[in-house]
Structure 1
Amino acid sequence: MREKLELSHLRMLSALYEHGTVSAAAEALDVSQQAVSLQLKRAREILGDPLFVRTGHGMAPTVYGLVLQPHVSQLLALLHAMPMPTSIPMEEIERTLSFSATDHAQRIIVGDLIRELRRVAPRVKVKVSNIESAALVRRMQEGDIDMAFTSNGYVPEGLLSTPLFTERYVCVAGRPMTEGLGSLPLEALVRHDFLVVSPSVPSFEGSAGSWFEQRGLRRHVVASVPSFFMALEYLRQSEMVAFVPSRLLPCEGIFEVPLEKYPPGFEVVAACHPSATSDPLLSWVLDFVQTRFSTDRSRRL
């Protein structure tokens, strides 16, 4: 029966030990006298003893009540000694963080984040996996993933997203194409073979397909790859062109192709499950990446 005792019962007993009357105990606990009487009645039922009896001077503990007193004090002391999440120093936190990220975010965000975590929280381990938008909500609910870094369009409903920065696209190739002649017209660009990046489902559409169509142009896509890293490698070995995020440049063996116009970029966000908002370590992670890219944004302006 002892396992049915609640914290309110322990606090009520402690107040009665200290103050000796129901009215004084109720005032100390900021509850009604009736509430104290009901809690005492329930504690008596659970423990099978009156615990306190009335005297001419208030309430006095029974013999068993006196035996319980140090145990009640010890339990409450242990409870008060429990550290709050925000009181644990970063260098003492020992756990594993799991991040899911696009290859672009792994390069731009996660590398700096791991380096800073090694400095301020050396006992924290980090697991990084490629982004899986379809299973992201379930895996976060199950605790498999703590935070995701991806583009805003890939955040499923049910997750919270925090904007970090806006990325723009640049056109690149494995060789110089304009040779100082200025910007390449889009009509000339679409005469070249294109490589597109399609990270989730293989596709020849790519992020800029509709943008070209709106301008009455159709590009010739000949290759689709799942990551920007592999796209850059394939470009070095071919005559193809592609759009990649600007923060991946400069890159050895890759040359920017100046254009008159560019397709719209995308917003990079940090996404997490609503239940993670009370996690102090994840709050630190979010603060770090927000500060990191607000500083970076200021430098670019």
Structure 2
Amino acid sequence: MHNFNDKVISLARIDLNLFRVFAMIYKERNLTRASEQLFLSQPAVSHALSRLREHFDDPLFIRDGHGVVPSTLAKRLWPQISEALNLIHLALQSTHNFEPERDLKQLTIAMNDEFEPIIFPRIVQWFSKFIPDLQVISVRIDRKNLRHELSSGRIDFAIDVTHTIEKGIAQERCMKDKFVIMCQSQHPILKQGLSKDNYLTSQHITVSTRPTGRVFEDFILSKQGLKRLIRLRCQQYETAIKMLAQSQYLLTISNCQALHLKKHHADIEIRPLPINIEGYEMNLYWDDEKSNEQETIWCKTQLLEIMKELQALLNQNNESGEFITI
């Protein structure tokens, strides 16, 4: 007796490439974006979805605003289809050794704007030693959609401060840093001597792209019951530095950023923070499902080496007590 279930379970009745389309639509929740990721036309993706719908006798994806949402059956199918495609990908990879210059054409890394001038040039210089023609792309990090960005292949890695992550994202610490103060060389606080009290009562500039809410260093201070006097809030550290040059404000900033900015602003001083607060850690993030892929392993190793070199420069500054620009 033949019935609907016979049709569904028979591999001979379905093109396995359709499952690639299913997976990308599931990840992107949008047919246009799915077609872009698959390098197919949108009509081709729509046709593939129609064949899947006919095969499973289910809509699979239902229109919702500007995108689609998976049906109950699609949600049930997804874990097994995702795992099967991953196993096939690994099987195909095992047929040849990964050769960076031959196999790696593009590398996309997400990071914050303020760290891009420090990290991105190092990445480009490092990878050019192995792959001169590699296209390296830096994009702004989107923490809310990080897992989706990584799993869909929109980005390959992310470099960001430590934060809570969703299941499916792998991470490894790549740098640890502290906070310091930047101010103009004639700031009164330098003559008075830095202390917790005159730090807290001085006027401060803070930097954030968000319109409201505490920045990281204020959150850390608040855990000690401390609050400083914020007079200005701007979006860019370059703006804050220019304000320091013409005013008596303090800027609390990561040591790494301070050392980078110092080489362009010789008149601005760097001083240790007079309050014992914890610094911050930077992590490298990637799609956990790709952790065993040769390409991921190789790229991850290179990125960690780049960050290790940067950490060594920071440690050298900390041990010498001098502020050597980076």
TM-score tier by shorter-chain length is 0.5 to 0.7
Match of 1:280 in 2: 294
4+ long deviations beyond 4 Å: 82-86, 154-157, 178-183, 295-299
Please name the residue that 1:167 is paired with: 177
2:263 is aligned with 1:249: no
Q: Residues of 2 paired with 1:98 and 1:297: CA distance? A: 22
- Supply the distance in 2 between the matched residues of 1:226 and 1:238 (Cα, whole angstroms): 18
Asked if the contact 1:159/1:272 (under 8 Å) is kept, the reply is yes
Moved more, 99-108 or 138-147: 99-108
Gaps of 5+ in 1: 5-81
Counterpart secondary structure, 1:292: helix
| Residue of structure 2 aligned with 1:118, choices 128, 153, 170 | 128
What is the alpha-carbon distance in structure 2 between the residues aligned to residue 86 and residue 283 of structure 1?
15
Would the aligned equivalents of 1:190 and 1:219 in 2 still touch at CA under 8 Å?
A: yes
Q: For residues 222 and 83 of structure 1, do their structure 2 counterparts lie closer, same or farther at Cα, with a shift above 3 Å needed?
A: same
**Aligned twin of 2:161:** 151
**Do 1:92 and 1:123's aligned partners in 2 also have CA atoms closer than 8 Å?**
no
Contact 2:199 2:274 (C-alpha < 8 Å) held by counterparts: no
Q: Counterpart of 2:278 in 1: which secondary structure?
A: coil
Compare CA radii of gyration and give the structure with the larger one: 1
CA RMSD of the aligned region, Å? 3.0
Question: Do structure 1's residue 224 and structure 2's residue 233 form an aligned pair?
Answer: yes
User: Which segments of 5 or more consecutive residues in structure 2 lack a partner in the other structure?
Assistant: 1-10, 13-91, 320-326
Matches of 1:129 and 1:167 in 2, distance apart? 23
Q: Is the 8 A contact 1:160 1:274 kept in 2?
A: yes
Match of 2:146 in 1: 136
**SS of aligned partner of 1:283:** helix
- Cα distance in 1 for residues equivalent to 2:237 and 2:164: 16
Letter in 1 for 2:234: V
Q: 1:271 is paired with a residue of what secondary structure?
A: strand
Cα distance in 2, alignment partners of residues 85 and 124 from structure 1: 23
Q: CA deviation at 1:147?
A: 0.6
Q: CA deviation at 1:94?
A: 4.6
Q: Which amino acid aligns with 1:167?
A: D
State which drifts further: 171-180 or 159-168. 171-180
- How many angstroms apart in 1 are the aligned matches of 2:104 and 2:246? 45
Distance 2:189 2:201 in 1: 17
SS in 2 for 1:111: helix
Counterparts in 2 of 1:203-214, with a 5 A limit?
Answer: 203-214=212-223
* C-alpha distance 210-113 of structure 1, shift in aligned 2 (>3 A): closer
Q: Given the alignment of the two structures, is residue 87 of structure 1 paired with residue 97 of structure 2, yes or no?
A: yes
Percent identity for Structure 1 against Structure 2: 14
TM-score (norm 2): 0.59
User: Quick check: 1:176–1:257 contact (8 Å CA) kept in 2?
Assistant: no
For 2:253, give the aligned amino acid: V
Q: Verify the 8 A CA contact 1:195 1:224 in the aligned structure 2.
A: yes
- Which one of the candidate residues 112, 115, 118 is aligned to 1:108? 118
Partner-residue secondary structure (3-state), 2:133 = coil
The answer to whether the 8 Å contact 2:208/2:234 transfers is yes
Aligned length: 222
Q: Distance in 2 between matches of 1:141 and 1:101?
A: 17
- Which of the numbers 265, 276, 291 marks the counterpart of 2:305? 291
Q: Deviations over 1:263-287 (max 9, x none)?
A: 3111101111112313433322221
